[in-house]
């Protein structure tokens, strides 16, 4: 079974950042032909191109016009600039952004869609792409199925998600990933100020995440806020007096934990 079906003329990747890098590596590993890497930074384009056996360029008008698929994996605000400048003969064009509607391609291209991998990527950190959920969307059914098949060649978790739902998903992901990660950062900073190793918290971080995966995180909630332990909460707020930003976060999040639990109970 060849997953290259439909993409014999190769894939162009626009971007050479975290998402572009992991996406390119995963596509190459799955046997797809990466034709060209574009990045406005020639060094970044070259670094990635070498890894996936592709050409590279930092000029939009040097991008081959006869590829089958163009994947735009750049910062959100650059997508429109690329759309205004990229000419294709017949290829499909998609972006990988959580919060940009598919309609960004409307009027300029015939076949377009979205190919959104829901994961946090860092260049130097390996990712098991077969575990990464990929959300696909397209402007017609045939293309949607084609993108679904492509995604299935990379991952075991492929979903058809429209632009509206994808925006909610992206918003939820900000809470689940960026904001939870910030809570780890604050914890680490508090420990640093008292000269305690962050290692002590690592089993707790791991177990908290695993619990949320295994059961409803709202049910799994523990700690002073959910049991409305005023004495501890007041002590903690006092301890944060030199960190007014942390103090605010502590108050708002504690209030919300308590409020939601009570709303649910009533």
The minimum distance between CB 64 and its own copies, in angstroms, equals 30
> 69 - beta bridge partners?
11, 92
Is the Cβ of residue 81 or residue 253 nearer to its own copies in the bound state? Answer: 253
Closest CA to 55 of 35, 29, 26: 35
Output the 3-class SS for 191-241.
HHHCCCCHHHHHHHHHHHHHHHHHCCHHHHCCCCCCCCCHHHHHHHHHHCC
Report the residue number, 8 or 195, with the smaller CB distance to its own copies: 195
**Alpha-carbon dihedral sign for residues 217, 222, 223, 224:** positive
55: its two tokens: 């050409």
Distance in Å, CB of 67 to its own copies, minimum = 28
| Closer residue to its own copies, CB minimum distance, 57 or 119 | 119
Q: Kindly give the pairing relationship between strand 92-95 and strand 134-138.
A: unpaired
Name the minimum Å distance from CB 138 to its own copies.
19
User: Please, what is the minimum distance in Å from the beta carbon of residue 76 to its own copies?
Assistant: 6
Closest distance between its own copies and the C-beta of residue 195, in Å? 8
Cα–Cα distances (Å) from 3 to 119, 186, 234, 261, in that order, read: 23, 44, 59, 48
Nearer to its own copies, 2 or 215 (CB): 215
Which stretches of 98-209 are assigned E, i.e. beta strand? 112-117, 134-138, 158-160
Q: Which two tokens stand for residue 242?
A: 């030199």
Nearer to its own copies, 99 or 139 (CB): 99
Q: Pick between residue 89 and residue 125 the one whose CB is nearest to its own copies.
A: 125
In whole angstroms, how close is the CB of 56 to its own copies at the nearest point? 24
């Amino acid at each position: 079974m060849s997953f290259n079906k439909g993409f014999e003329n190769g894939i162009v990747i626009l971007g050479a950042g975290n998402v572009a890098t992991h996406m390119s590596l995963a596509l190459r590993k799955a046997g797809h032909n990466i034709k060209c890497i574009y990045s406005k930074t020639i060094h970044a384009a070259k670094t990635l191109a070498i890894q996936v056996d592709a050409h590279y360029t930092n000029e939009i008008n040097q991008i081959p016009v006869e590829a089958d698929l163009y994947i735009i994996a750049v910062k959100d605000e650059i997508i429109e600039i690329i759309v205004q400048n990229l000419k294709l003969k017949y290829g499909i064009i998609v972006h990988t952004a959580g919060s940009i509607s598919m309609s960004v391609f409307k009027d300029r291209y015939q076949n377009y869609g979205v190919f959104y991998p829901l994961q946090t990527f860092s260049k130097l950190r390996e990712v098991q792409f077969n575990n990464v959920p990929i959300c696909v969307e397209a402007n017609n059914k045939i293309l949607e199925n084609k993108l679904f098949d492509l995604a299935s060649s990379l991952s075991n978790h492929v979903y058809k998600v429209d632009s509206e739902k994808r925006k909610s998903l992206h918003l939820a992901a900000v809470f689940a990933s960026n904001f939870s990660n910030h809570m780890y950062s604050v914890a680490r900073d508090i420990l640093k100020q008292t000269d305690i190793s962050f290692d002590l918290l690592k089993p707790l971080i791991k177990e908290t995440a695993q619990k949320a995966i295994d059961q409803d995180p709202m049910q799994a909630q523990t700690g002073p806020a959910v049991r409305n332990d005023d004495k501890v909460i007041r002590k903690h707020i006092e301890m944060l007096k030199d960190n007014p930003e942390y103090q605010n976060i502590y108050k708002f999040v504690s209030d919300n934990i308590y409020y939601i639990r009570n709303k649910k109970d009533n």
